[in-house]
Chain A
Amino acid sequence: MFQKMIDKSMAKSPWIFHVNAGSCNGCDIELVSVLTPRYDAERLGFRLTGTPRQADIVVVSGPITSQTRDRLVRTLAQVPEPKVVVSLGSCPRSGNVFKGSYCVDGPLEKYTHVDVSVGGCTPKPEAIVAALAKAAEILAEKRKEMRQA
């Protein structure tokens, strides 16, 4: 019973940790705006945490510059299982306008499995909310898989 309750609440309380991997700050601002009254992601249980140790969803924005690469990998490793990785905006998947730069080590897939991506430069907050909601569903599924494994 306890386990089922945990399974159910998994999708209801996903906490977000945001990694800026060299982003231009556009996506970061939009991610914060998701918590503003108009979009209010908190009503779905989302909360921005300050530490990866308590995060369920890691949101990565930016094209993974060579300066941030190691820090990103380390931070991703420090998130406890089950976790979901969301790539925010066009940059993490492709590099966007920074593609081919000497200091860009993208895409994000090279370092981790990306569960949900949001396209856009920058995505609209509604799109981010939709992506996070999807990520929460995936989180609950991962928890079930982890328990059955």
Chain B
Amino acid sequence: MTNLLWTMFHVLVFPGVLFCVVIGVLLAGLDRKLVARMQNRVGPPLLQPWYDFLKCCGKETIIPRHARRSLFLAAPVLGFAALITVALFVPVLSCSTYSTSADLVVILYLLTVVGVSMIVGAAASGSPFAGVGLSREMVAMISYELPFVLVILAVGRMAGATTPLGVTFSLQAIVDWQAANGSMLFHWSMIPAALAMLFVIPCEIGMHPFDIAEAETEICEGTLAEYSGPPAGLFRLTHCVKMYIMCALFCAMFLGGISTGYAALDALVVVVLSVVITFVTMSVPHAVCARFKVEQVFKFYWTVVAGLALISLILVWLGL
């Protein structure tokens, strides 16, 4: 019984729905505020993403004629739920809920499920703009997947070098290794991988310089072109929550092992780190860069970012 209650607590409160949504909304709001300040503006209130979501909930949901009704409505819910389950698997510094039953590859694929749910929703809407949008979303996915995979392998080798198998994918093992040997980020051979991961984060989320799939000025919001009302709001919320989850994943992979001994304090540390990561990886490029072109994103990720990750992987492989 208590077990069930704990599960419910995990799913609903921490690190599940409530925590993710609150932190995600705050991070997204902070990002918008910071971008505005960097552009010499005042910027929206901190809770603006939350207002946006609520506003969307109060609107009509129109299902277009060419849409496949069930998938059109199910896709956002499924994507959001899949994302929340990722949060359950990502360890928050030393405090983990279900991270022993998942590994980095699983997380990589669960994040893919989130992207795919958006793509399927867009496809189900039947709009030509959504068609272009999903095509771009997929290209973005291919782009960041290569560096992401290389980073995962580098981290897996680094943390697993001392184990009998020589490698590991297990998040828990990675966090434990960092607790014993210091955070990944402080091993110089991992710094290129960390940089690559910092580049992967905004593209995975679809933040401004890499938001080729939702380019509102070119292709009318792309994947979201036909979404209105609560489903659209849920997609926006998913976007916010993804910001937190990617930051938390970065913390687990590169800054893990720091432990204060108290779960609540650990969560707070992760939130603070997330704010820093959000600022560095999302707000600054957003404020400084114009949107990339599709083929530029692909080229950038498969050459520069993948190159960084590869340097790290080779260094780690050489035992440095």
Contacts and interface: CB of A to CB of B under 8 A. Distances in A.
Q: Do chains A and B touch in the complex (CB under 8 A)?
A: yes
B55 A13 contact: yes
B221 A54 contact: yes
Contacts of B52: 9, 13, 15, 45, 47
Most buried by A among B57, B58, B60: B58
Contacts of A37: 39-41
Contacts of B60: 80-81
Contact of A10 (B43, B58, B216, B226): B58
B48 A13 contact: yes
Contacts of B40: 37
Given A9-B51, A12-B55, A13-B52, A53 B228 contact: yes
A44 to B, nearest CB: 8
Contacts of A49: 216, 221
Interface in B35-75: 36, 39-45, 48, 50-52, 54-62
**Which of under 10, 10 to 19, 20 to 34, or 35 or more describes the interface residues of B?**
35 or more
Given A10-B55, A13-B48, A50 B39 contact: no
A40 interface: yes
B36 A6 contact: no
B227 interface: yes
B59 A50 contact: no
B224 interface: yes
Interface string A22-56: 00000000000000010010111101111101101
Contact of B221 (A8, A13, A51): A51
B228 A80 contact: yes
Contacts of B221: 49-51, 54
A40 B216 contact: no
B59 A56 contact: yes
A50 B227 CA distance: 12
B149 interface: no
Contacts of B57: 2, 6
A38 B215 CA distance: 24
